[in-house]
A and B are shown apart, each in its own frame.
Chain A
Amino acid sequence: MNEKTAPGPVLEVTNLKKYFPVKKGFFQRTVNHVKAVDGVSFYLNAGETLGLVGESGCGKTTVGRCVLRLTNPTAGDIVFKGKNLAHMDTETLRQVRTSLQIIFQDPFSSLNPRMNVATIIAEPIKNFQRLSNKACRGKVAELMDRVGLRPSQMYRYPHEFSGGQRQRIGIARALASNPDVIVCDEAVSALDVSIQAQIVNLLKDLQTELNLAYLFIAHDLSVVEYISRRIAVMYLGHIVELASSRELNDNPLHPYTKALLSAVPIPDPLADQDQEIILTGDVPSPLDPPEGCTFHPRCPMAMEKCRTIPAYHEISPGHWVACHIYPTS
């Protein structure tokens, strides 16, 4: 699919942690931490897509925001093209943002209602290049054309567009600064299914044309499987399993991945539905996560050993898992 990858990761995240302090009382003392992301590591090769799935509140969006330093990580390293973003000063970081972009979930709130489309798309261009208005307009028209919008509509305002068109505007804005990596934070979740397909295909086309790498964050496993080459499954701030898309689908190891996969509806009435694994209970509060493996209170295969933290290790080439069922050899 996206085989023409350059050697070496363009983005490498190591042991990323983000704790949000919980403050209480008159003096706003920190009484506890919400461990939104707790030791996440992955890498992203140039031109490939890494899917990041998990249910609401598992910290996948926080990972995306940390990667872009929209929020400061508590600990960990984010190495982008050989430079560590985690401890970068504001101005250097600003420069890096030409090549690291984001597409947001909600196409309604991510566009300033008081700016017209031309201004929105031109914003990243104007931040980094000195262009005449005419040249800038030309570039905007080219970008709009590329994402499937009519350039003649560039002086319209966001509220005049539909959800799918607005998301295309968001994509055009992300493309404007010629990025290498785009974080797609639930980029299609807010759209209708038919529009989702259009946008996902647009993203795939752009990837082949421009050799983009995506960190594709979503909760819909079927969409992620379609677009991603490799998939990371997150649960309560940890990556529990990471494998290539095909491997994860054919040979899921972690009980949570198995449950997630079994929940994906199969569009075939004759298909065997018996193997559906229904998880009991709710996701524990990240304020007070369970000891050891955070999944063990809901895990159908939990053992005594699961009260200790499982190691995140490579079980076969490119297939990583954090579960006691698969011992480290």
Chain B
Amino acid sequence: MTDRKNVDTDQNSGDNTVSGSRGWAKLKRNRAALAGGILLLIYLLCALGAPVLFRGDPSAPDLMNSLSPPSGAYFLGTDELGRSILGRILYGARVSLLIAVGVVGVGLVIGVPVGLVSGYYGGKTDFIIQRFTDMMLAFPGFLLALALVAILGVGLKNTVISIGISMIPLYIRLVRGCVLTVKEEVYVEAARACGTRDLNIIRHHILPNVLAPIIIQTSLGMGTAILFAAGLGFLGIGVQPPTPEWGSMLGSARAYMMGKPHVATFPGIAIFLAVLSFNLLGDGLRDAFDPRSRI
């Protein structure tokens, strides 16, 4: 109750930002977001502790034990080449999280500055950047990534670059939209009036006030990145075997779906839970920090 009252006084005072501590409190009370966060932590631990949790080479074939069901020796069974599915999922978490971070990194590093410039300066600069974004957004995201892979070629690095580029327009749009609201704020005008240079206005006044939506989009974007990467892997044009990757595991398990469903099921669950956890966390962050959702 008390918290509700706080929010009210806050709105009365015309302050439309949520102070950090209250946002965190709200996030902690959101069970779904908490579950997402914990799940994500588990993934992170799996990725970091893969060599400890699974001894041996996840890529070493053992044809004597191919397609064996879950057992004491192979906790989640083996795939068509007799490789432990558990081991491949654990090592696959490394690849997937790496892709997620890399993709969002590409999106942020290019999308955020371009969005800031586009929104802040407006005019012709904005027009040119926005028409370019329109062009990129005209393709469905996955199709754009697919086309870029076709140009760049397969592999981990190219997967990250293509999915990253396909996400840039989303960040540009998001950041530009937020900048358009923030740059009309009186404190931005006040900064200009006291002789602050444009670059410092963007850095100290605009960026901190558009950070919340960027963080939210980062979390949601990581989920999408994993899904896209798995999609490319499934089609055989993502990360190449023998590197363990969830999507390609799923792709090669497709042939044994009827007889040995466990081969496809476990990587599928891994993808599903990873994407879910990012989305839950992202939604929770949005509820906690995005002022627009507090009505």
Contacts from A to B (Cβ < 8 Å): 68, 70, 94-95, 97-98, 101-102, 104, 106, 108-115, 123-124, 127-128, 157, 159, 170, 173-174, 176-177
Beta-carbon contact of B17 and A114 below 8 Å: yes
Beta-carbon contact of A108 and B191 below 8 Å: no
Separation of A101 and B196 alpha carbons in the complex (Å)? 12
- Apart from A113-B17, A177-B195, what 12 extra A-B contacts exist at CB < 8 Å? A94-B197, A104-B190, A106-B14, A109-B186, A110-B190, A114-B17, A114-B208, A115-B204, A124-B195, A159-B13, A173-B190, A173-B194
Beta-carbon contact of A102 and B195 below 8 Å: no
Separation of A104 and B186 alpha carbons in the complex (Å)? 8
Contact count A vs B, C-beta below 8 Å: 73
Beta-carbon contact of B194 and A123 below 8 Å: yes
Main secondary structure of the interface of B (DSSP, over half): helix
Beta-carbon contact of B193 and A159 below 8 Å: no
User: Would you mind naming 15 contact pairs between A and B with Cβ atoms under 8 Å apart?
Assistant: A70-B192, A70-B193, A94-B195, A97-B193, A98-B195, A102-B193, A104-B186, A108-B13, A110-B186, A110-B187, A110-B189, A115-B204, A115-B205, A127-B194, A177-B194
Beta-carbon contact of A124 and B209 below 8 Å: no
Instruction: Identify the closest chain A residue to B190 (Cβ).
Output: A110
CB of B102 to closest CB in A, whole Å: 29
Beta-carbon contact of A70 and B195 below 8 Å: no
Separation of A98 and B17 alpha carbons in the complex (Å)? 30
Interface residues of B in 158-214 (CB under 8 A from A): 185-187, 189-197, 200, 204-205, 208-209
Beta-carbon contact of A124 and B194 below 8 Å: yes
B62 CB-CB contact with A under 8 Å = no
Contacts of A112 in B (CB 8 A): 187, 191, 204-205, 208-209
Instruction: Identify the closest chain A residue to B184 (Cβ).
Output: A109
CB of B32 to closest CB in A, whole Å: 28
Q: A102-B193, A124-B194 are in contact. Are A109 and B13 (CB under 8 A)?
A: no
Separation of A298 and B209 alpha carbons in the complex (Å)? 46
Which of B17, B192, B194, B200 is packed against the most chain A CB atoms within 10 Å? Answer: B194
Main secondary structure of the interface of A (DSSP, over half): loop
B2 CB-CB contact with A under 8 Å = no
Contacts of B196 in A (CB 8 A): 123-124, 127
- Within 8 Å by CB of A176, from B15, B189, B194, B204, lies B194
CB of A6 to closest CB in B, whole Å: 24
CB of A47 to closest CB in B, whole Å: 21
Contacts of B190 in A (CB 8 A): 102, 104, 110-111, 170, 173
**Chain B interface residue bracket vs A:** 20 to 34
Contacts from B to A (Cβ < 8 Å): 10, 13-15, 17, 19, 185-187, 189-197, 200, 204-205, 208-209
CB of B175 to closest CB in A, whole Å: 16
Separation of A109 and B194 alpha carbons in the complex (Å)? 16
CB of B18 to closest CB in A, whole Å: 10
Separation of A208 and B258 alpha carbons in the complex (Å)? 90
Contacts of A123 in B (CB 8 A): 191, 194, 196, 204
Instruction: Identify the closest chain B residue to A162 (Cβ).
Output: B13
Chain A to chain B: the 7 pairs with minimum beta-carbon distance, closest first = A124-B194, A97-B195, A110-B186, A112-B187, A109-B186, A108-B14, A127-B195
Beta-carbon contact of A70 and B189 below 8 Å: yes
Separation of A159 and B208 alpha carbons in the complex (Å)? 16
CB of B184 to closest CB in A, whole Å: 10
Separation of A106 and B186 alpha carbons in the complex (Å)? 8
Separation of A173 and B195 alpha carbons in the complex (Å)? 12
Contacts of B186 in A (CB 8 A): 104, 106, 109-110
Q: A106-B14, A108-B13 are in contact. Are A114 and B209 (CB under 8 A)?
A: yes
Q: A108-B15, A109-B187, A110-B190 are in contact. Are A95 and B195 (CB under 8 A)?
A: yes
CB of B127 to closest CB in A, whole Å: 11
Instruction: Identify the closest chain A residue to B19 (Cβ).
Output: A159
Separation of A109 and B186 alpha carbons in the complex (Å)? 6
